[in-house]
Structure 1
Amino acid sequence: MVLPKSRIVTVMLSKPGARIPWCWRDYVQPWLYGFIDDGGRVHTAKYSLFTFSFLPVGPVFTPEGLGSQNGVWVFRFASALPWVLEMVSRGVQKSRTVKIGNAVLKPAVVTEEPLSRRATYQTGAPVLAAKLKERGFWTPREREFADAVARSLTNRWAYLTGNEVSPESIRFEFLGSVRQKLVQYRGRNLLAFSGIVRLGAPDEMLTFAQCVGLGQKPSCGFGFII
């Protein structure tokens, strides 16, 4: 399986102090799907096989939303499907603006960032692990959190390649301080976690994890690692 060797990085500009609502994923995800001209196959697939991160430079946190002191934002997009990566790259480059809530952002620079194979990564978007047989979410203090991350990754690999990989070959843990967040998505509050993560896996799976994200709902803006 030949996976992409890089992801898209876009520097966006807004007015200094501009705020985007905490439910910003509800705006960004449809914007991305608008670039993927495949008759809706990716949108309706069991696994979309992409993930994204959207972070302000000089972050400002308010009850109303997330802001950037200097009006600079960094958007990252990754996918295990090279043609999806190419479509989104072209779409972002052609976009004059994107409106998120009342904030208007302008893509200024679109470039590529190489993927890496190493032991530790920073979360660019929080990792989510929901309980499947009951309501609620696992936390990193519980063994089931790492198990859910491993299963999610190997399930996506099997979906893409048709080859099974044992979840036991994936080792995941947070290192040091872990930040807990209630993330707004489509009217729900989802419990997710951010920080430095250690990921042990075969080299190809390390690349794949950066392409599709970790945990659940990566195509909704969760589980992105840098």
Structure 2
Amino acid sequence: MHITITLQSDTPWEIPVNYNHFLQAAIYRHLSPEFAEFLHNQGYIVDRRRFALFSFSRLIGPHDYVSASKMLVFQNTAKLMLSSPIEQFIREITQVLLMEGIRIGSQFLRVTSIQTEIFKVEKSVIEVETLSPVVAYSTLLRSDGRRYTKYFHPGEKDFQRIISDNLVRKAKLIYGTDLTFAPVSIDSIGDFRKQIVLYKNTIIEAYNGKFILEGDSRLLQAAVDAGLGGKNSCGFGCIRPISR
């Protein structure tokens, strides 16, 4: 399920250009304490991997970039999209935001509307667009034994493999851990755009664009609802289907 939240301020408001962790903190802060602690500290576990099973978009709305301060200045209104297959997540975040509004960093914003959408995937091929950039990465070992993170772009085979494996794990959490799935095929539509995001003190390479996903409809549904690729709960891989 997807929700689109309309945020409103009486005056222009600003936020650092690398704001993912501000949005993430705001989301957790507007869930019940017990559920927020569960998602943040434990999450849903399969194959020794942990998932929060939600994603969120970039802030969408008229804004200016101030290079001197590396701030984005939004003009009164912005939209934020969230997606999750977990009913409790959607229910809690919707109820609290409508009653209390949202605080992002030091900025309080009114929530003037919340629109709910259910994208039901019934086909084995869908086209999607990114609302926040997609991440595919592996943690590898250097020759001296030190770990490092390697990011992959949509033109590499490992990009498809990593995202497909990730979707299989999410689908097992949603539909049952005893199920087996064939890999998903992922192809970009046109050009994809690299985006460098500083999340806290970590540099993350991610990609925006449009993609064709082909495979089991349950895997595609998991991509739409839980996010495509890794680091979804940090603000990556939020997507929505597009039609031609």
* TM category, shorter: 0.7 to 0.9
State the 1:15 CA deviation. Answer: 5.2
* TM-score, L = length of structure 1: 0.87
Note the 1:34-73 alignment, pairs <5 A.
Answer: 34-37=29-32, 38=34, 40-43=37-40, 44-45=42-43, 46-63=50-67, 64-68=70-74, 70-73=75-78
State the 1:164 CA deviation. Answer: 3.5
How many residues align? The count is: 218
CA distance in 1, matches of 2:63, 2:193: 15
Corresponding residue number in structure 1 for 2:99: 94
Relative to structure 1, the CA distance from residue 95 to residue 201 in structure 2 (aligned partners, 3 Å threshold; closer, same or farther) is farther
CA distance in 1, matches of 2:97, 2:182: 35
SS in 2 for 1:151: helix
Whether the 8 Å contact between 1:14 and 1:103 is mirrored in structure 2 is: no
1:13 counterpart = 2:8: yes
* TM-score, L = length of structure 2: 0.81
CA distance in 2, matches of 1:178, 1:138: 13
Corresponding residue number in structure 1 for 2:138: 131
Which piece of structure 1 moves more, 33-42 or 80-89? Answer: 33-42
Whether the 8 Å contact between 1:157 and 1:165 is mirrored in structure 2 is: no
Whether the 8 Å contact between 1:10 and 1:75 is mirrored in structure 2 is: yes
State the 1:34 CA deviation. Answer: 2.4
CA distance in 1, matches of 2:17, 2:129: 21
SS in 1 for 2:88: helix
What percentage of residue pairs aligned between the two structures are identical?
Answer: 20
Whether the 8 Å contact between 1:50 and 1:79 is mirrored in structure 2 is: yes
Whether the 8 Å contact between 1:175 and 1:195 is mirrored in structure 2 is: yes
Note the 1:56-205 alignment, pairs <5 A.
Answer: 56-63=60-67, 64-68=70-74, 70-100=75-105, 103-117=107-121, 119-133=126-140, 134-160=148-174, 161-168=176-183, 170-205=184-219
Q: CA RMSD in A?
A: 2.0
SS in 2 for 1:135: strand
Corresponding residue number in structure 1 for 2:233: 219
SS in 2 for 1:131: strand
The structure number with the bigger radius of gyration is 2
Whichever residue aligns with residue 60 of structure 1, its letter is: D
Q: Structure 1 unaligned runs (5+)?
A: 1-5
Whether the 8 Å contact between 1:174 and 1:197 is mirrored in structure 2 is: yes
CA distance in 2, matches of 1:148, 1:113: 28
